[in-house]
A = this chain, B = another copy of it.
Amino acid sequence: MKKVTIKDIAEGAGVSISTVSYVLSGKRSVSDEVKRRIHEQIELLHYKPNAVARSFASRKTNIIGLYCSKYPDTENTDVFFLKMVNGMMAAAEKRNYKVLLLNEMEGSENFVIPFDKTFPIDGAIVTTTINSHHYLNQLESEEMPFVLVGKPPKDLKINCVDNDNVKAAYEAVELLLKQGATNIGMVTGSGLHTRLSDFEIGYMMAHNSYQIAYRSENIIRHDINDPDYVQKIMSAIQENGLDGILVSLLFTRLINRLLTDPHAPHSIPIVSFGFDLIAEHYSHLTKDVHFIQSNAYKLGIEAVARLIDLIDKPESKAKQMLLSPELSVWRQSKELQQIE
């Protein structure tokens, strides 16, 4: 069974190949009669355009690549990633694009993936990874349009989409103050670098704006892989006399302890980053939790929207988009009230 091509349709309808092509693309007006005959043949022969041939001729695949790091991640960032991909697919579909998952090539020590026509893509989305700086430098030299999801290195003017984490931490502190906190702690990962995170900047700016005493020991840095971090952080909370806490979702076990342990101090208000990612599992909260939305889905949408704009007109210059934080509260469920 030979495959049906545009030529078969042209012959069947008694017109030229180009006319069939133009009917299919709608790029030129064609008489209704010819259109009818062509569609009749398409129906009759079950013609389906060949995507690869089309891409080859038009130099356009309508596919965007999503570069996925192989670096081990926590469950939480996995959920973030999944929701981001969902957003990307939604945005891509609207504009007739598909998403191709690309992972690191075998044998490369660094996170290096070909960023050219080695893959059938019109553009790419890159997420921040450990050695992204080195990597992004390389990307800049290529002609492929791309958008970074995450914070770009300062010296690179590239297209990117990210949460406004400075503002997020700032507003989180504001919220804790409104709830009566006076001595606010922040629990954050001990990254590879000792550089200040945007969260810390926002935290500090809020302390400055509201003229609250700032104590460096209130910024509690911990490796999330330390098996005993919960105990250590709980101790620090007590020793420092904290009455409000800002905590990253990465500290799953700490969150569990603070939010579900009936013996935990009920009085300390907590703001978590990205609690929406795992809220489903917390029908057993012992208190309400305020959180700053992860925006995973939205980031996916925006990244793809920006990328497709770039593909459509590549001359447009680099733009940095920051999503404003949205604060929400996840209420202690009915479930639990029945228990008590």
Contacts and interface: CB of A to CB of B under 8 A. Distances in A.
Given A118-B49, A263-B339, A100 B103 contact: no
B48 A335 contact: no
Interface string A259-272: 01111000000000
How many copies of the shown chain assemble into the complex?
2
A138 to B, nearest CB: 12
Contacts of A48: 114, 116-118
B120 A61 contact: yes
Contacts of A53: 56
A232 B129 CA distance: 46
Contacts of A329: none
Contact of A256 (B262, B263, B283): B283
Interface stretch (A6-14, A74-82, A203-211, A305-313): A74-82
Given A100-B99, A227-B334, A283 B93 contact: no
A208 B208 CA distance: 71
Contacts of A102: 98
A282 B257 CA distance: 10
Contacts of A59: 52
Nearest to A280: B75
Contact of A100 (B1, B100, B116, B227): B100
A55 interface: yes
Contacts of A118: 48-49, 51
Range class of the A interface residue count: 35 or more
A254 to B, nearest CB: 9
A45 to B, nearest CB: 13
A101 B103 contact: no
Contacts of A103: 89, 93
A272 to B, nearest CB: 13
A231 interface: yes
Interface in A227-241: 227, 230-231
22 contacts: A48-B114, A48-B116, A49-B118, A50-B117, A51-B117, A52-B52, A52-B59, A52-B120, A61-B120, A93-B103, A98-B101, A98-B119, A230-B335, A231-B338, A252-B280, A252-B281, A253-B283, A253-B335, A256-B281, A257-B284, A263-B339, A281-B281
Q: Sorted from nearest, which 8 A-B pairs have the closest CB atoms?
A: A75-B280, A253-B283, A56-B56, A256-B284, A281-B281, A82-B82, A99-B101, A48-B116
